[in-house]
Amino acid sequence: MSEQDPRADTTDTSPAMATGAAPAPRQRYPQPLLPRNLRNWMMVWYRNYMVWKKLAIPSMIGNLADPMIYLFGLGLGLGLMVGQVNGVSYIAFLAAGTTASSVMMSASFESMYSAFSRMHVQRTWEAIMHAPLTLGDVVLGEIAWAASKAVLSGLAIMLVAGALGYAQMPGALLALPVIVLAGIAFAALAMIVTALAPSYDFFMFYQTLVMTPMLLLSGVFFPPEQLPEGVQAATKLLPLAHAVALIRPLMLGRPVDGAGLHLAVLGAYAVVALVVCLVLLRRRLLR
């Protein structure tokens, strides 16, 4: 008596088939949405770090080139005409703003272009979620990694500014926790765009309609007090404005006004954006 191949048995005895109802659609990733624990996301962070380490030098040069051009090109060029701003040289004023803007740029680009490649093009997320990791673990690890690159970029500019006398060292290092929080907030916001993006071209809308106006209105290049009152009120809703309001006085050795409010706004952006991007990514990856 020959054995029957169990794979040849196509009989479905499930309740759905017994009653004639259509079977329920199978979810691609049955894991829960939230992070499984407080450690799994570190594996995602470490995986991205190991890949980045192979191209660390070109990556750092690319992340630092743009803010350094702004710092020295505008700082030295316009500084000769502008003179002092708020009691300091223009290049020192600009150095603090450039530190904050580099955090936004680095965190946003990593959460958009690089994360989109791993999610949609390379399908790295799909491979990771076949391990005992949830979508929450992957997203939290991606945001933490983007924030880490943002901290590296902001810290590098801060150290350069301090070495040239444009920042009060070592007191300026007190701004490091603010840079971390801002990096998380901007990374989470950009991850929302990634969750909605059908292709790389979609990111141009966020860069042009959100990041560029935020860069120009948040006090990076000039004091926001020079703007019309209505625009000043609108800038108080921008996360970059609150990051600049915290980082600039810390780098210049001045007291921070309204530190609690600025930290609360950045924290709220980080938490709300994280929840929204998780919901959107779950809808996208489970459909």
Q: What is the pLDDT along the chain (287 residues), one digit of tens a residue?
A: 444 444 444 334 444 434 444 444 444 444 566 676 778 899 999 999 999 988 888 877 777 777 778 777 777 777 777 878 888 888 899 999 999 999 999 999 999 999 999 999 999 998 998 888 889 999 999 999 999 999 999 999 999 889 888 889 988 899 999 999 999 999 999 999 999 999 999 999 999 999 999 999 999 999 998 889 889 999 999 999 999 999 999 999 999 999 999 999 999 999 999 999 999 999 888 76
Is 163 among the domain residues? yes
Q: Which amino acid is at 179?
A: I
Is 127 among the domain residues? yes
Domain ranges, residue 49: 38-285
Q: What does the alpha-carbon distance between residue 203 and residue 219 come to, in Å, rounded to a whole number?
A: 24
Q: How many domains does the chain divide into?
A: 1
Look at the chain and count its residues. 287
Angle at 162 between CA 161 and CA 164, to 5 degrees: 65
Is 13 among the domain residues? no
Angle at 246 between CA 244 and CA 252, to 5 degrees: 90
Contacts of 64 (CB under 8 A, 6+ apart): 102, 153, 156, 157
In this structure, what token pair is assigned to residue 228?
A: 């019309």
Is 93 among the domain residues? yes
Q: Cis bond leading into 58, ω under 30°?
A: no
3-state percent breakdown (helix, strand, coil) of the chain, nearest 5: 75, 0, 25
Is 69 among the domain residues? yes
Q: What does the alpha-carbon distance between residue 137 and residue 47 come to, in Å, rounded to a whole number?
A: 13
Is 233 among the domain residues? yes
Is 116 among the domain residues? yes
